[in-house]
Amino acid sequence: MENQYAQMVDLGFGEYITQDPSNRYPIYTRGNAGEVWPEVAYPLTITLTRKAGEIASAIAAINAGVITQKDIKDGPTCFGGVFAGYMYLNLSFGRMIAIRTPGTTIEKSDATYYGSEHEAPEYIPNKKDKSILASLKILKYGWRMLHTHKLPILQQDRTLVTQWQNRLPEILNSSDEKLVEAMREIMEPASLLFTHHLDITGQAGGAVQLLSTICEERLGDRSIALTLLGGLGDVDSAEPSYALWELGRMVTNDDALTKIFDSGLSGLLLRLHESDSAQAFVKNFDSFLDAYGSRGANEWETACETWGTNPSSVLTLIDRMRLADPRNSPTERTKKILEKREIALLDARENLKGLGSWLFEKALHSSILFSQARERSKTTIIDLIHVARLITRELANRTARQRDGAELIDLWFILENELDDFINNPRTFNEKITERKRVRQELSNRVPPFIFEGEIPHPSSWPLRSEINITQKNTVTNGETLKGFGGCPGIAEGIAKVITDPAEPRDLGPGDILIAPLTDPSWTPLFVPAEAVVVNVGGQMSHAVIVSRELGMPCVVAVKDATEIIEDGTRIRVNGATGEIVILETPKE
């Protein structure tokens, strides 16, 4: 196939980065991919990382025994790809793995990883999907998973990232050519770390599926597994919330700090640094940025700001955190979820005997070990990506200074194979960059299909975001029930706050329920002041589920178009076990 590898293709209103879909595996989903890459991808990022991602995906799948080289001869988009600028995962490929995995169904696989089955086409049996040899290898892989007690690879990967972090000052002071060389060189360790992450993610998903199946078949309630995995501790995605809570309490308990924050977000960072009474807060804030500066919205994309490159975005989150009800303290919430977990664990152990008890204990241990490891391996990759981000930003700053009216972001509209020419003569790319910016904006203004089969619908047919907000407003009525997937058990009632950008949380606070299109770590602090969280997309291994479990708050994911059909200000009831949202009272006109 000509365009299995990402390149610029005319989409009807201009060229942008895209690929051809796989013939063998034709169904693609934004589920999970929308969490990791919510925005239109940039050409430089995709062409620079393409090979590393493809190699990692192939190695991880082959190591698990689920495929051979023969299964992926159709090309790299077997695993997923970028189509008209948006990142997708291959649902057909995931379903093939489900078919080959003993004890797993397509429905369970979809729910665990994608949250897609409500929209996905029905599975059409394909004799190539079945493989007795692959099934036997998967059983062996699963047996090894159940008997794994330590993962030394996590520390090895951390050491590798630390080495790159230590090299960073020297790299940033090198020539343009050396910066480009480093951008390419870092793709090799990135591929290695991503391979490990995918391997761990597969085992985490398998363990959680097994535990959920045991709870469903032996204990009569699949949601028990969610309770058993709540409040585990040592979950990297949740850690920033604890640190931000303490920063928020510093503000709440200090009149001088409160006065500084009450003066508004504009110029807040400067006022804090200039105030003698804020120096203790500034010191703790700087420590937070040192620890979590690589995190932020769309953190896999080096073109995007993080908490470290844009500290003011963190202050916005702290401003919400300081107003949170004290009972929403992550520590207090965790105590409650731990109590529920202990009760559920004792009850399960009383009702399971013999082989069932042995398998339950193994599945529970593996679910905890690999769920924690999955978040740790992701954090390690994100830290390496941040190194790549800082290298790329240095080059972007240098090249922008050579072009009149240039912006920092311009570099990311260059393809990897154009980099050498670009640093030699940036001005010759002015027209090309302007055109690519225009096309990206066209794509950003539209909503891509959540699921597509075969060729992706032409972007000109995608609905405009502005039109969706108008046409779908006020489409739910009092008493209506919306259905998604339960992410964390619990029931909460409150006022829906529809937030589409974590940098603009508005007045989210006590008594509110966060309604979000998707979540990544930049959203995590907004969970804390809220009573519950509802997300448009996501499976049972999604970020929202993992963090809500850790914080002990009701969560429902995969509620289609929740941010469009639930009007801001609606009183709702969220059931995190059943995945139901009941509309109690819509706002009065």
Distance CA 129, CA 50 (A): 26
Model confidence, pTM: 0.91
Residue-wise DSSP of 345-405: HHHHHHH--HHHHHHHHHHHHHHHHHHHHHHHHHHHHHHHHHHHHHHHHHHHHHHHTTSTT
Neighbouring-strand partners of residue 17: 8
Q: How many CA atoms lie within 13 A of 503 on its CB side?
A: 11
What type of residue sits at position 98? A
Q: Can you list the residues of the chain whose pLDDT is less than 70?
A: 1-5, 112-113, 115-118, 468-474, 589
- Closest of 586, 371, 390 to residue 496, by C-alpha: 586
Rounded to whole angstroms, what are the CA distances from 197 to 159, 200, 542? 15, 5, 14
Residue 283 tokens, joined: 């010191």
pLDDT at 232: 86
What is the tens place of the pLDDT at every residue in 333-349? Answer: 888 889 999 999 999 99
Q: Residue 469: its pLDDT value, please?
A: 54
Which domains occur in the chain, in start order? 7-219+352-444 (no CATH), 469-585 (3.50.30.10)
Are 534 and 463 a contacting pair, CB within 8 Å? no
The residue type found at 173 is N
